[in-house]
Amino acid sequence: MQKFTLIIMLLLAGTLIAPETNAALSGSVGVGSCDTVARLLARNWWDVKDVMLAGEKRKRKPRTGDFKCISPRYTRGMMQTTIPAMRNELVCFTSKQYPAICCDARMQSCASL
């Protein structure tokens, strides 16, 4: 009976922890709200397009809902890129391996395509 109770507790603990972990890894909205950053990126798309796409062609301007929230910790090891028009509002990071990430100036919320 004790083993059964322990197994149930472990399964419940895994269920409670897993959604946050999966959300952080997949970049879903579960990481926190990045609505402000997503709105800034969508509204100022022509200023941030080159950084966000890194040479990729895109036929249409993305909407706010096209951006995914990303934890700021994923910017570690990425190169910071300055966008002159958005210098006081956004900090962006690029990498050859991953899509670009842009964060608010306080590095509290980030978004990526």
* Contact yes or no for 103/33 (Cβ under 8 A): no
Model pTM?
A: 0.67
pLDDT band (50, 70, 90) for residue 27 = very low
- Please report the pLDDT score of residue 1 as a whole number: 55
Domain ranges (residues) in the chain? 2-112
Q: Token digits for 52? A: 């966000």
- Please report the pLDDT score of residue 73 as a whole number: 93
- Please report the pLDDT score of residue 26 as a whole number: 42
The values of phi and psi at residue 59, to 5°, are: -80, -25
Highest mean pLDDT among 8-12, 24-28, 83-87, 106-110: 106-110
* Contact yes or no for 69/28 (Cβ under 8 A): yes
| Beta carbons within 10 angstroms of residue 100's beta carbon | 21
